[in-house]
Structure 1
Amino acid sequence: MVEEKDPTRNVAAMQDAIHELKRCHQSHLVTKAHIISILNEDSCYLMMQHSDKKVPISKQKKGLIKSLLSI
């Protein structure tokens, strides 16, 4: 079992990703459908199409992000 090196860093990265998703959605760089498709993927990463950000994420956290984005 691989231990997370710094859980707080993952939380910060996730918060950055959430902020980025909200910003992109509000500026119409991505659509709600695109955000939902990203969050519904089976991969364990949240990744923006126009960015090289790749944030490790669990399926439970994807659900949390969906609720935080209110989509």
Structure 2
Amino acid sequence: MELAVEIRKAELVLKKEATSKYLAKWKAPFAVEPPVNVELVRLVTTRVLSTNDYTEWPSSSHSSVEEEDETG
């Protein structure tokens, strides 16, 4: 739950930055930087990767493959 709140806050910050950068583009088209806060992206990515285990497949995908093999 706490992670979801942090991710939502990060999304809102990134959206706000992107909007301000987009509006700045119309004032000075050649002085626009990418709308990315590197530290914020690193924090969110680290949190997400540390809380998820990508080493195991979901059980539903295994069971459907096994059922197809038995009937075929």
The two structures share one fold, judged by TM-score above 0.5: no
- Whichever structure has more strand as a proportion of its residues is 1
- Whichever structure has more helix as a proportion of its residues is 2
Bigger radius of gyration, 1 or 2? Answer: 2
